[in-house]
Amino acid sequence: MRNVLDLFRLDGRVALVTGASSGLGVGFAEALAQAGADVVLAARRADRLEETAEAVRALGRRALPVATDVTDPAQCESVVAAAMTEFGRLDILVNNAGVGTAVPATRETPEQFRSVIDLNLNGAYWAAQAAGRAMKPGSSIINVSSILGLTTAELPQAAYSASKAGLIGLTRDLSQQWGARRGIRVNALAPGFFASEMTDQYQEGYLPRMTERIVLKRQGELHEIAAAALWLASDAAGYVTGQVIVVDGGFTTT
């Protein structure tokens, strides 16, 4: 049997992380680099991307920041092409780009709803489509969904919840399409409450109320969700596809 710890290594592999300019995206990029991967970093905020790139390089890995709007299929094709030009391969995609909103359904405009779906769901599909065309057998796609694709948490988040539930359906379908035929595993992460720009926008008192619903009675720490992504990206999860891995401290069990 192979050394189990070696299964988590990503030496010689190349990962693309979308939404890599802040929050969970930075954590995913750093975790993949720590495991040995070179990382392509995609987000709309080019200035913030360079900060993530420096963090990856400080870990001894190569980083390629590419300003990318994933709602544009052509830009998704371009960032994948940049990865292939720079590194000659693409083994891992972490579909992390997304936005959260909280708007009552009776007041949400069509533009507001569509913008969330366009980034969180459509953007993930365009990125996966572009990556899937370039990936070889043994590659891994990780779609970052949310527990709000599985349950509710008081706030009026129809667009966000719909986009994250749709991402779970997309994950299952792509895993079927690309499993045996292309050798690409496709899974989803469903994070609970982790500190991010999104949680910074919550009203006072909301997070303490939600924390009471968490079995472990605390928010998650960045390394805990990053470790789950690393597992899905690596050979340690080589027999895992089409799954939703919930990392929420037990929130969805209550």
- How much is the pLDDT for 60? 98
Catalytic pick among 125, 160, 202, 206? 160
Report the C-alpha gap between 137 and 81 in whole angstroms.
18
What is the per-residue pLDDT across 177-191, written as a single tens digit (0 to 9) for each? Answer: 999 999 999 999 999
Read off the pLDDT of each residue in 71-84 and give the average, rounded to a whole number: 98
> Hey, what domains does the chain have and what are their CATH numbers?
10-247 (3.40.50.720)
Q: Is 125 a catalytic residue?
A: no
Q: How far apart are CA 159 and CA 165, in angstroms?
A: 10
How many beta carbons lie within 10 A of that of residue 13, not counting itself? 23
> CA–CA separation, 182 vs 192, rounded Å?
31
Neighbouring-strand partners of residue 92: 15, 140
pLDDT of residue 206: 85
Which residue, chain included where needed, has tokens 């592999």?
A: 13
pTM: 0.95
Beta strand segments in 83-184, E: 92-95, 140-144
CA–CA dist 159, 140 (Å, integer)? 27
pLDDT, tens digit, for every residue of 16-70?
999 999 999 999 999 999 999 999 999 998 889 999 999 999 999 999 999 999 9
Which residues have C-beta within 8 Å of that of residue 22, sequence separation ≥ 6?
43, 45, 48, 196, 197
Q: Report the C-alpha gap between 218 and 221 in whole angstroms.
A: 9
